Chains A and B, each alone.
Chain A
Amino acid sequence: MNKRLQDMFARLTGAEKARIADEHRRAYDFDPRDPLFGLSKDEISGPKLSRRSFLRLVAASGGSISLSHLMGAAGIALPAATRAFAQGGGHLICGWAGTAEITTLDPAQINQVLQFQVASNVLSGLTHINADLVAEGDLATDWTVSDDGLVWTFNLREGVTWHNGDAFSAADVVFTYNRSKDPAQSIHSGNLVNVLDVVALDDMTIQLSLGKPQASLLVKTLERSSGRAMTIVSQHAIESMGLQEYGLMPVGTGPFRVTGHQLGQGVVLERFDDYYDPARPVVDKVTIIPIPENEPLAAAIETGDIHLIGGNGVAAELVDRFLMNPDLVVDEIPGNGFQSVFVNPWREPMVVEDFNLSVDELKQQNGFKVRLALAKAFDRERFIQRALFGRGVPAFGTINPAMGYYFDTGINETSEQRFDVAAAQALLADAGYPDGEGFPTLKLLTTPAGRRQAEVIVDMYRSNLNITIELDIKDFTVLIEDANRMEYDLLRLGSGGDFDPDDGLVDWMLSDSRFNGANRNDADLVEKYGERAFGFFSADRVNELINQQAVTADPAARKALVQEANQLTSDKLASIFIFHGTEILVHRAEVTYPPESRIVGLRDLDRVSLS
């Protein structure tokens, strides 16, 4: 518990403390930040829920349990302010930062956060994550799961219509599944490998069959924004409009409909009057303008040309300036994702051939000593101050603070990577490079946008270890090719859209993860280097833990597996984990952005209002 919370707790009366303790005891494993990736079968199934399950599932087990419904059912009138809020109207203008265009809104083609930030306002999924990263029903109202966790049955929301007036039904879900499963039609086909079949039991019921239990099904695969594979699309609209037009102006069932989209100039959304929740959206119209440069973005929000910033996030150097402006509201929360410096274990002097050895055994090897020296010489706090203007938190693994329940708050004390420059210098000397003497010049591969951070890294290693690192700056298209082929000494890369531990662990840390040097054994490389058994990291125990957590239903058990895997990747130096970003929302004071819409990484605008 941090000091501020301790102080707050100390000020409470005895009765208040007792009540909190009682609540805590009764909801013994309730954690509002628990992403609810897997509960037991009984807990997940609806509709009858125990109090404890209700607390856990208030969001996930049924979209009908919204505050307004509960209050309405209880005969409680909404306060006048809330009613006025709901009648808001107005035209909200948003700037999408750091991008020249929103290339597509078709979920089958979406490959950037800034795209699904828009799509999430237009299209729906069976579920949608809320501000606590818990999955709520979206087009599904409730669901049941079989004893073995392999068959999921979803009841769909009645009376939902598409923006073109068609009625929504189970056939749309089946169509979306078949489309997304086909790699020629969707770039997300791999996300459905574990979903063997989706069938419509009737117009309003569908059944999913899984190959093996999947803890992240609700929050990842079926999620409407970041999920994408099962963001529900309209067959009729795709066939009548064609893919190109659908990609720009998709027909959805979401709170806003797209009424205009010119690549690079912006997207126009208008309130969808037949949205299933009549209280949303609050504003009548939203215009989203891509603004690639920082200074014009800042000028636009300062002058009121735009009301809110979305897209790639606000550049760290602008945040203090915005904080000093009384016309602006700045809200900073832990961001998802992790950022790393990957160290190629196939290049001298960082060679490690077998990560299955224990950490103590690894520490006997010179290659590992060098890797550990690089990790321990990395002053994360200083890096965050210098490169990120203080906007970030030190990272020691893929699991980030935004994941709340799964995040290990003590890893900064326990990781082998923790900062200790004297130990780093000793390790380097032990590896044969006292005071950096004789250490070869390494190259740090990064993108043009990453130059500033890379320069701080170069300077840090020069002063802490007396070694020379040169920048190797390449466009992202070239960098990713080199990364996949393991053609680098050091690589600055990371992930930005993680809501579930699977995103960091499954996608990056498994031996056969998609980012783990997938093309390392291309024919020309085998001729040059010989067969390389793995990419940047491979450890059997880590693989075992990651695969096990992916199918573990019990949150506490899953948390233990996730944290053990995370600790091992940290201690064995799968990469030098450097920071987790913070998510900064900036809007003008006349915009009300309610807490329930403050979902990390997203800009859900349906509850946002303008005064």
Chain B
Amino acid sequence: MRYFVARVIQALIVVWAVGTLVFFMLRAVPGDPIAALLADVDPTAADAIRAKLGLDQPVIVQYVFWLRNTLAGDLGQSLYGSHQAVNVQIAEAAPRTVSLAVVAFLVSFTLGLSAGIISAVKKDSLLDYGFNFAAFLGISMPSFWIGIVLIIVFAVNLRWFPAIGYRPMSAGLDQWLRYLILPGLAVGLPFSASIARLTRSAMLEVLGQDYITLARSKGLNERRVIFRHALRNALIPVVTVMGISLALLFSGSVVVENVFAIKGLGRVLIQSILNRDYPVVQGSILLVAVLLVFMNLAVDMLYRVIDPRISYD
């Protein structure tokens, strides 16, 4: 428990450090958000807008305001357009990203783990070579390219799925899934390739251990040997990668979100960076930092469940 509390405190410090670093770095990089906003409009409005948004204050004063508001749960509002609250932008984008992440994770988990196990068990067989080749392809092909190929094949030619867009789960589970299959595959396939490669090598290592030979010599069922004794021990590196992958998926896949016209967290972040929309960048990166830090923490905790020999005391 003490270990857990210490890790949470460490995680909070990391999140604060990331937030602070991003705050000052944003203001140090070139690019004036108001200049961009006023590119085709009245430059005399610039000072009024800066004052209204608090950008005329010294940076340290802006930082204190930002920290105080963030601790109170208010991430500020966008500098652009309708000045929508950052909390609202994130809250609107999050369900889409989570939906996409869940489908992509299921794709990567199911395909990656099964392919990795089969490859290891059927080592040097045609099946192993086939999965290896597919995994190389999956790792080599960028997800946006996979997305476009999927659109051309399954949306334009076969007309099985829509080319773009997103439907929330409230529109019906079938609609939700129909719109998420192609983007889920585009994001999930490269991840599944990595997981397949990792699972294969971890399984091969474990399958060569003495206790597996012993289990087999005791006459245990092969399925039991693989799933009960080998897989569980091989999973530790795989779970680490899957945990980080899941955190990355939850942070949004900007490229695939762009290809399928889904406004998720990735697109919120990239769009705000391009616009130098300070509050949205800060809010989004803070969220990504929280996700990554706490997902890592969760993975560490999961190790104990997988392998009871691991202790943090």
Which residues of A line the B interface, CB within 8 A?
95, 100-101, 103-106, 109, 111, 115, 182-184, 186-191, 243-248, 262-265, 289-293, 295-297, 299-300, 302-303, 305-306, 474-478, 480-481, 484, 495, 497, 514, 518
Inter-chain contact A244/B164, CB cutoff 8 Å: no
Set B38, B261, B274: member contacting A475, Cβ < 8 A: B274
Set B42, B159, B276: member contacting A187, Cβ < 8 A: B42
CB-CB under 8 A from B51, the residues of chain A are: 184
Interface presence of B268 (CB below 8 A):
yes
Interface set, chain B 1-48, CB cutoff 8 A to A: 30-33, 35-45, 47-48
> For the complex, what is the distance from the CA of A518 to the CA of B42, rounded to whole Å?
12
B41 CB to closest chain A CB, in angstroms?
Answer: 4
> For the complex, what is the distance from the CA of A189 to the CA of B46, rounded to whole Å?
11
- Knowing that A296-B163, A477-B275 touch, tell me 4 more A-B residue pairs with CB under 8 angstroms: A262-B92, A263-B82, A265-B166, A292-B261
Inter-chain contact B159/A303, CB cutoff 8 Å: yes
Identity of the chain A residue whose Cβ is nearest the Cβ of B273 in the assembled complex: A475
Inter-chain contact A296/B48, CB cutoff 8 Å: no
CB-CB under 8 A from B33, the residues of chain A are: 477
Inter-chain contact B152/A299, CB cutoff 8 Å: yes
Most A CB contacts (10 A, CB to CB) among B151, B163, B260 go to: B163
B142 CB to closest chain A CB, in angstroms?
Answer: 13
Inter-chain contact B80/A244, CB cutoff 8 Å: no
Of the A-B pairs whose beta carbons lie under 8 Å apart in the complex, a sample of 28, sorted by A's number, is A95-B261, A101-B271, A103-B80, A111-B37, A111-B38, A183-B44, A184-B45, A184-B49, A188-B45, A189-B45, A243-B82, A244-B77, A244-B82, A264-B267, A265-B96, A290-B261, A292-B258, A293-B259, A293-B261, A299-B155, A303-B156, A303-B159, A305-B165, A477-B32, A478-B30, A480-B32, A480-B39, A518-B43
Interface presence of B162 (CB below 8 A):
yes
A445 CB to closest chain B CB, in angstroms?
Answer: 12
Identity of the chain B residue whose Cβ is nearest the Cβ of A519 in the assembled complex: B35
Set A104, A290, A295, A480: member contacting B35, Cβ < 8 A: A480
Interface presence of B148 (CB below 8 A):
yes
How many A-B contacts if CB must be within 8 Å? 165
Interface set, chain B 238-265, CB cutoff 8 A to A: 258-263
Inter-chain contact A477/B35, CB cutoff 8 Å: yes
> For the complex, what is the distance from the CA of A111 to the CA of B48, rounded to whole Å?
17
Inter-chain contact A299/B164, CB cutoff 8 Å: yes
CB-CB under 8 A from B45, the residues of chain A are: 183-184, 186-190
Q: A100-B267, A295-B148 are in contact. Are A111 and B164 (CB under 8 A)?
A: no
CB-CB under 8 A from A191, the residues of chain B are: 42
Interface presence of B89 (CB below 8 A):
yes
CB-CB under 8 A from A518, the residues of chain B are: 43
Which residues of B line the A interface, CB within 8 A?
30-33, 35-45, 47-49, 51-52, 77-78, 80-85, 89, 92-93, 96, 148, 151-152, 155-156, 159, 162-166, 258-263, 267-268, 271, 274-276
B287 CB to closest chain A CB, in angstroms?
Answer: 16
> For the complex, what is the distance from the CA of A501 to the CA of B163, rounded to whole Å?
41
CB-CB under 8 A from B52, the residues of chain A are: 184
CB-CB under 8 A from A480, the residues of chain B are: 32, 35-36, 39
Inter-chain contact A263/B84, CB cutoff 8 Å: yes
Inter-chain contact A264/B268, CB cutoff 8 Å: yes
Identity of the chain B residue whose Cβ is nearest the Cβ of A497 in the assembled complex: B40
Identity of the chain A residue whose Cβ is nearest the Cβ of B82 in the assembled complex: A247
Inter-chain contact A265/B263, CB cutoff 8 Å: yes
CB-CB under 8 A from A302, the residues of chain B are: 156
> For the complex, what is the distance from the CA of A103 to the CA of B78, rounded to whole Å?
10
CB-CB under 8 A from B84, the residues of chain A are: 244, 247-248, 263
Inter-chain contact A296/B89, CB cutoff 8 Å: no
Inter-chain contact A104/B80, CB cutoff 8 Å: yes
Inter-chain contact B163/A109, CB cutoff 8 Å: no
CB-CB under 8 A from B262, the residues of chain A are: 265
> For the complex, what is the distance from the CA of A246 to the CA of B163, rounded to whole Å?
31
> For the complex, what is the distance from the CA of A263 to the CA of B89, rounded to whole Å?
8
- Complex A-B, nearest 9 residue pairs according to Cβ-Cβ distance, in ascending order: A247-B82, A264-B263, A103-B81, A190-B42, A104-B81, A477-B31, A183-B45, A183-B48, A299-B163
CB-CB under 8 A from A115, the residues of chain B are: 81
Inter-chain contact A247/B37, CB cutoff 8 Å: no
B159 CB to closest chain A CB, in angstroms?
Answer: 6
Inter-chain contact B35/A484, CB cutoff 8 Å: yes
> For the complex, what is the distance from the CA of A490 to the CA of B37, rounded to whole Å?
23
> For the complex, what is the distance from the CA of A484 to the CA of B84, rounded to whole Å?
28
> For the complex, what is the distance from the CA of A306 to the CA of B155, rounded to whole Å?
13
A184 CB to closest chain B CB, in angstroms?
Answer: 4
> For the complex, what is the distance from the CA of A297 to the CA of B261, rounded to whole Å?
9
Inter-chain contact A476/B36, CB cutoff 8 Å: yes
Set B38, B152, B261: member contacting A291, Cβ < 8 A: B261
Q: A244-B83, A477-B274, A481-B30 are in contact. Are A293 and B44 (CB under 8 A)?
A: no
Identity of the chain B residue whose Cβ is nearest the Cβ of A102 in the assembled complex: B81
Set A243, A245, A295, A514: member contacting B151, Cβ < 8 A: A295
Q: A183-B48, A191-B42, A265-B263 are in contact. Are A481 and B164 (CB under 8 A)?
A: no
> For the complex, what is the distance from the CA of A264 to the CA of B267, rounded to whole Å?
9
A500 CB to closest chain B CB, in angstroms?
Answer: 14
Q: A295-B151, A475-B31, A477-B36 are in contact. Are A303 and B48 (CB under 8 A)?
A: no
Inter-chain contact A289/B261, CB cutoff 8 Å: yes
CB-CB under 8 A from B276, the residues of chain A are: 477
CB-CB under 8 A from A106, the residues of chain B are: 81-82
CB-CB under 8 A from A104, the residues of chain B are: 80-82
Q: A264-B268, A299-B152 are in contact. Are A289 and B43 (CB under 8 A)?
A: no
Inter-chain contact A476/B41, CB cutoff 8 Å: no
Q: A244-B77, A291-B261 are in contact. Are A296 and B82 (CB under 8 A)?
A: no
> For the complex, what is the distance from the CA of A401 to the CA of B49, rounded to whole Å?
36
Most A CB contacts (10 A, CB to CB) among B37, B152, B164 go to: B164
CB-CB under 8 A from A190, the residues of chain B are: 41-45
Identity of the chain A residue whose Cβ is nearest the Cβ of B162 in the assembled complex: A305
B53 CB to closest chain A CB, in angstroms?
Answer: 10
> For the complex, what is the distance from the CA of A475 to the CA of B151, rounded to whole Å?
29
Most A CB contacts (10 A, CB to CB) among B49, B77, B261 go to: B261
Q: A300-B164, A477-B31, A477-B32 are in contact. Are A189 and B42 (CB under 8 A)?
A: yes
CB-CB under 8 A from B274, the residues of chain A are: 475-477
> For the complex, what is the distance from the CA of A302 to the CA of B260, rounded to whole Å?
15
Inter-chain contact A183/B82, CB cutoff 8 Å: no
> For the complex, what is the distance from the CA of A583 to the CA of B45, rounded to whole Å?
31
Inter-chain contact B260/A296, CB cutoff 8 Å: yes
Inter-chain contact A100/B263, CB cutoff 8 Å: yes
Inter-chain contact A101/B263, CB cutoff 8 Å: yes
> For the complex, what is the distance from the CA of A101 to the CA of B166, rounded to whole Å?
14
> For the complex, what is the distance from the CA of A188 to the CA of B42, rounded to whole Å?
5
> For the complex, what is the distance from the CA of A299 to the CA of B150, rounded to whole Å?
11
Identity of the chain A residue whose Cβ is nearest the Cβ of B38 in the assembled complex: A187
Inter-chain contact A183/B42, CB cutoff 8 Å: yes
CB-CB under 8 A from A474, the residues of chain B are: 30
Inter-chain contact A247/B42, CB cutoff 8 Å: no
CB-CB under 8 A from A306, the residues of chain B are: 164
Most A CB contacts (10 A, CB to CB) among B159, B165, B166 go to: B165
Inter-chain contact B275/A305, CB cutoff 8 Å: no
CB-CB under 8 A from A289, the residues of chain B are: 164-165, 261
Identity of the chain B residue whose Cβ is nearest the Cβ of A306 in the assembled complex: B164
> For the complex, what is the distance from the CA of A438 to the CA of B8, rounded to whole Å?
63
Set B36, B43, B166: member contacting A514, Cβ < 8 A: B43
CB-CB under 8 A from A184, the residues of chain B are: 45, 48-49, 51-52
